[in-house]
Amino acid sequence: MDDPGIQTWAVDALGALAHETRLAVFRMLVKAGPDGMIAGAIAEQQSVPPSTMSHHLATLERAG
């Protein structure tokens, strides 16, 4: 990994997935495929308040 941009991206992505809820959400979204899922359904399945789920989804989105 000589490219600092790739290294930064990898650290950000792994950091985002280092949280139990975000990792579970990531796995759900991978299983859902290209159609994805709506945020409310994700929050409900994870038993997380919508405002908290919004924060987790934003973190995942920023990490790419």
Whichever domain contains 27, its CATH number is 1.10.10
Q: Which domain holds residue 15?
A: 4-63
64 confidence band (pLDDT: 50, 70, 90): confident
Please give the tally of structural domains in the chain. 1
The answer on pLDDT for 27 being more than 90 is: yes
Degrees (nearest 5) of the Cα angle 43, 53, 32? 55
Degrees (nearest 5) of the Cα angle 19, 21, 37? 130
Q: How far apart are CA 4 and CA 49, in angstroms?
A: 36
Please state the pTM of the whole predicted model: 0.83
How confident is the model at residue 3, as a pLDDT?
81
What tokens were used for 45? 């399945």
